[in-house]
Structure 1
Amino acid sequence: MPMTDIPSLDELLTFNSDGLVPAIAQQHDTGEVLMMAWMNRAAIDETLKTGQVCYWSRSRQAYWRKGESSGQVQKLVKLRVDCDGDTILLLVDQKGVACHTGRRNCFFNEVDKSGQIEIIADVLTSPDQLYGDK
């Protein structure tokens, strides 16, 4: 593809009606899917500028720099956009656990074909240790 045919990031991305795009964080060297969160354009810009992943917290209506309160920082290795421009894949180097529950990743509830749920990952770090008593 000639360089002139490559769209800009703004042309490539499709944000939802709230100005957000889902972002999946994946450990760059193992392929482990860590978590999914939301980003707006400013969070993407900060992530690209600083190399530390920044998300938009819908519940707090504020920027959420992964690891700023827990120390479990995500460093950006690569940022990819899917073919439709409506999902971001962040290849990251995750320090410690990614999930606020103290597990390595957020996908620890496994549902079998009958609908039964099994927790398949142990808590590695107490949430109280990560965030202090709240």
Structure 2
Amino acid sequence: MEKERKREQARQEKKTTQEKKSMIQLDFSKSADGLLPAIVQDAESGDVLMLAYINQESWEKTLSTGKAHFWSRSRQQLWLKGESSGHVQLIREILVDCDQDTVVFKVEQLGGAACHKGYHSCFFRKVVGENLQTLGEKIFDPAVVYAKK
């Protein structure tokens, strides 16, 4: 009896480990370019900070470092968010959607700004009638921050 119980326990532990591994496997095959959307949200306030794209490499880098990594579609390269500005995003929680083809990164935004235009969020404009209204103030001047390039 004891031997059977231990064997069953070992089988359950192996199954749980396999499930854990498979639970974080994203389905990159669903897009022709191998990119999946990553919604970035402030872990504390719940504010949506940005939308970016991840590939297998950036996903693995994010998981291994605890910092948000993306795939830059314009530069066609791996991108550590905040590498140039210092406004790094520390991963606090990751949510995966039901189809395993979209993620939400809940982050601690260092430096206060996620947007390369200097705002807290990339969603700093609101549609009002036929116009866009700017919300909030700039946290940094992009001309100064990115001049060091």
TM-score, with structure 1 as normaliser:
0.88
Name the structure 2 match of 1:109.
125
Aligned to 1:21: 36
Q: Does 1:48 align with 2:63?
A: yes
Give, as a single letter, the amino acid of the residue that structure 2 aligns with 1:119. T
- Indicate yes or no: 2:131 matched with 1:119: no
Q: Do 1:21 and 1:38's aligned partners in 2 also have CA atoms closer than 8 Å?
A: yes
Deviation at 1:86, TM superposition (A): 2.2
AA matched with 2:108: D
Q: CA deviation at 1:6?
A: 6.5
Residue 57 of structure 1 contacts residue 63 of structure 1 at CA under 8 Å; is this kept in 2? Answer: yes
Structure 2: tracts of 5 or more residues without a match: 1-14
CA distance in 1, matches of 2:61, 2:20: 22
- 74, 91, 94: which one pairs with 1:59? 74
> What letter corresponds to residue 26 of structure 1 in structure 2?
Q
Q: SS in structure 1 opposite 2:140? A: coil
Task: Report the Cα offset of residue 84 of structure 1.
Answer: 2.3
Which residue identity does 1:101 align to in structure 2?
K
> Does the 8 A contact of 1:108 with 1:121 survive in 2?
yes
Which moves more between the two structures, 42-51 or 124-133? Answer: 124-133
2:54 matched to which residue of 1?
A: 39
- Aligned twin of 2:88: 73
Percent identity of paired positions between Structure 1 and Structure 2:
41
RMSD of the alignment, in Å? 2.0
Moved more, 43-52 or 13-22: 13-22
Number of aligned pairs? Answer: 131
Asked whether the 8 Å contact 1:102–1:130 carries over to 2, the reply is no
Local SS of the residue matching 1:128: helix
Unaligned 5+ runs, structure 1: none
Secondary structure, counterpart of 1:121 in structure 2: coil
Deviation (angstroms), 1:66: 0.6
Question: What displacement does 1:121 show?
Answer: 2.3
The alignment partner of 1:42 has SS state of: helix
Query: Is 1:132 the counterpart of 2:147 in the alignment?
Result: yes
